[in-house]
Amino acid sequence: SLSLSPKKKGGSPTPEPSARGRTKEMSSAAQQLPRTESRTLSGHEGAVLAVRFNHDGKYCLSCGKDRTVRLWNPHTGAHVKTYKSHGREVRDVNASSDNAKLVSCGGDKQIFYWDVASGKVIRKFRGHNSEVNSVKFNEHNTVVLSAGYDRSVRAFDCRSQSSDPIQTIDTFQDSVMSVNVTNTEIIAGSVDGTVRTFDIRMGRETVDNLGHPVNCISLSNDRNCLLANCLDSTVRLLDKNSGEMLQEYKGHICKSFKMDCCLTNDDAFVIGGSEDGFVFFWELVDAPIVATFRAHSSVVLFPCHQRHLSPNKDLHVDVICRWDHSCLDLKIEIADVCYPY
């Protein structure tokens, strides 16, 4: 688990004793973070708006302004399949844990539930009255959660024949940009400056007010902490249970675009994109920038991190996508590493 104590006003979080002894290890791990392009996947006919790995990291999905979802093998560079049915741009896509289904959303106000093998749409979920920004499966692939510009999060039952939501959460004061789900919670970030956590079992809502528009939330791999990317060019690390701010990460530019952030698989580094085309890596505890590289000539929207186990168990993959109408490609960053994701 993460070894941090709560951040005090004007200071940094205090590393626990176990974290102090990891300085050399962190320095070594930072040297192995990716800094150069390894492969470019070309095919989209418009800006790429999101990239997501499948559950085991062997494939990745991309979507964008050309109204398509595309399936890739990032390790060989092969384009596997294209999924077409959306009427407007596709803003997010997510794969089920068994790799059999996809769910996507976008500007046409609908959530598309796909069969991966056939490429056919199984169902179109309706209910949002504006663009849909984010979509996720729950752990058992039975429920889809979506977040939209209509200030709501909606839940849909994949097992039902109904296209209507089974639950709507509409306590937000502005657009909902990002949604995550655990076994017991729905967590969403909004332009109203809040991260809201809904306890499914207790029917209770917890609100953390960050004071700045939130355009992305991401969970740590141990599920104890929450990253929030805000439009004041700051990524914030929160204790998921108490809501206390543990750390802030700065140096990138995030003022106008929805940009993802995430942690590496060992929760040692924070990754974020920037409007100047750079990808930033911060060390988790003390928040220094430990690595940067220019991935694109324009905005880096979705830095994703995943590890695929090669025979020697050391293949590390980063996927970067960008908003760049002049050069329509998807870049995949691959580097060998020795630490676990």
Q: Please, which residues bridge with residue 283 across strands? A: 269
* Three-class SS state of 190: strand
Distance (Å, whole) CA 111 – CA 290: 38
- Tell me the CATH number for domain 24-336: 2.130.10.10
pLDDT of residue 25: 66
pLDDT at 121 > cutoff 70: yes
What is the per-residue DSSP string for 53-116?
Answer: E-TTSS-EEEEETTSEEEEEETTTTEEEEEEE--SS-EEEEEE-TTSSEEEEEETTS-EEEEET
Residue 212 predicted with pLDDT over 90? yes
pLDDT for residue 27: 72
Instruction: Name which of 6-15, 94-103, 279-288 the model is least confident about.
Output: 6-15
pLDDT confidence of residue 341: 25
- Residue 23 makes CB contacts below 8 A (sequence gap 6+) with none
206's tokens: 């917890």
CA distance 320 to 306: 12
- Has residue 230 got a pLDDT over 70? yes
- Among 96-100, 187-191, 337-341, name the one with the lowest average pLDDT: 337-341
Mean pLDDT confidence for 1-13: 47
Domain ranges of the chain: 24-336
pLDDT of residue 303: 54
Contacts of 101 (CB under 8 A, 6+ apart): 95, 113, 114, 115, 116, 122, 137, 141, 158
The model's confidence at residue 299, banded by pLDDT at 50, 70 and 90, is low
Look up the pTM and report it.
0.82
